[in-house]
Amino acid sequence: MNDLPDNVRLLSIYQALLLSVSSMIVFVGGLAESKLAPVENLLTHLYSDE
């Protein structure tokens, strides 16, 4: 990987970080939703028992 230009190396690092940040936002959003919803019926459930 030493023969790659600096820009290519930098862009590959940024791409990996951006992909991991988007999944982290979804995960943290689900955790925050459980704390912020005023009523349990308003929570979004991925798997419901109904």
The pLDDT tens digits of the residues spanning 1-50 come to 578 899 999 999 999 999 899 888 888 887 877 777 667 666 666 555 55
Question: Long-range contacts for 11-18 (Cβ within 8 Å, ≥24 apart)?
Answer: none
In a domain, 25, yes or no: yes
In a domain, 46, yes or no: no
C-alpha separations of 48 from 7, 8, 12, 36 in Å = 47, 45, 39, 20
In a domain, 20, yes or no: yes
Count of the separate structural domains present in the chain: 1
In a domain, 16, yes or no: yes
pLDDT for 3 equals: 86
Type of residue numbered 5 = P
Q: What percent of the chain has pLDDT over 70?
A: 68
In a domain, 22, yes or no: yes
Beta strands of the chain (E only): which ranges?
none
Q: Domain of residue 11: give its range.
A: 6-36
